[in-house]
Amino acid sequence: MSSEVLAVVGHAIDSSDDQYVVLGKLTSPYGVKGWFRVYSYTSPMDGILDYPEWVLRHAGRVETRLVRQGRRHGKGLVVNLDGVTSREQAEELTGAEVLLPKDALPELDRGDYYWFQLEGLRVVTLQGTVLGHVSYLFETGANDVMVVVGDAESVDERERLLPFLPDQVVHDVDLDAGIMTVDWDPEF
């Protein structure tokens, strides 16, 4: 199994709104001409700029905006959206989540996964012991790491950090069943 986790999208949004994934967030205005600082959950960070149309969710509303310009700036990103031409307009949208319809994501090869697809999966050992569910993932230099949180149905309520290493740790991912099978000692 030559699976790969693709950190293209870092957050699933609540299951009641299952058609979108969160790509990032408009964190603050940048300058006086309607630009924003953007926090991106994509990897690489500027992958969010590959999508020319953003769905923004803010203060109970959802709207679509075209990306006019975007670029790296220092350690982050800045972007200018269609229809936002002043700092005051940018302040009104500050805090908005940048959403993308799941059907707009590129199709992956068999055995490759987006992080949001793995979040929430029940994690079970090869022996059938339930360890909990994947809460979130993060990158390290060597490999991606899953944070598995125990719950009432698991062997205990511990939080475990499991490396996403296909064939070594992760033996099967069944998205339809919502289960990931791992080779992991529950005592570790």
Can you tell me the distance from the alpha carbon of 122 to that of 180, in angstroms, rounded to the nearest whole number?
6
| Same domain, residue pair 59 and 123 | no
Total-model pTM: 0.75
Res 10: pLDDT: 46
* Residue 178 belongs to some domain of the structure: yes
33 and 85 both lie in a single domain: yes
> From residue 171, how far is each of 24, 138, 159, 165, 181 by CA, in Å?
31, 19, 20, 9, 6
CA dihedral angle for residue 54, residue 50, residue 4, residue 169, rounded to 10 degrees: -50
List, as one string, the DSSP characters of 30-58: ETTTTEEEEEE-SSSGGGGGG-SEEEEEE
What CATH number did the domain enclosing 95 receive?
2.40.30.60
**pLDDT tens profile 91-142:** 999 999 999 999 888 888 888 899 899 999 999 999 999 999 999 998 888 8
pLDDT, one tens digit per residue, over 19-48 is: 899 999 999 999 999 999 999 998 889 999
User: In terms of domains, do 91 and 133 share one?
Assistant: no
State the residue range of the domain holding 168: 119-182
Query: Number of structural domains, the chain?
Result: 2
- Do 93 and 123 reside in the same domain of the chain? no
End-to-end CA distance of the chain: 24
Residues 17 and 100 in one domain: yes
Domain boundary among 104, 128, 156: 104
Residue 61 lies in a domain: yes
Q: What's the CATH code of the domain at 142?
A: 2.30.30.240
- Residue 15, pLDDT score: 38
CB atoms within 10 A of CB 113: 22
| Residue closest to 19 by CA, chosen among 102, 125, 136 | 102
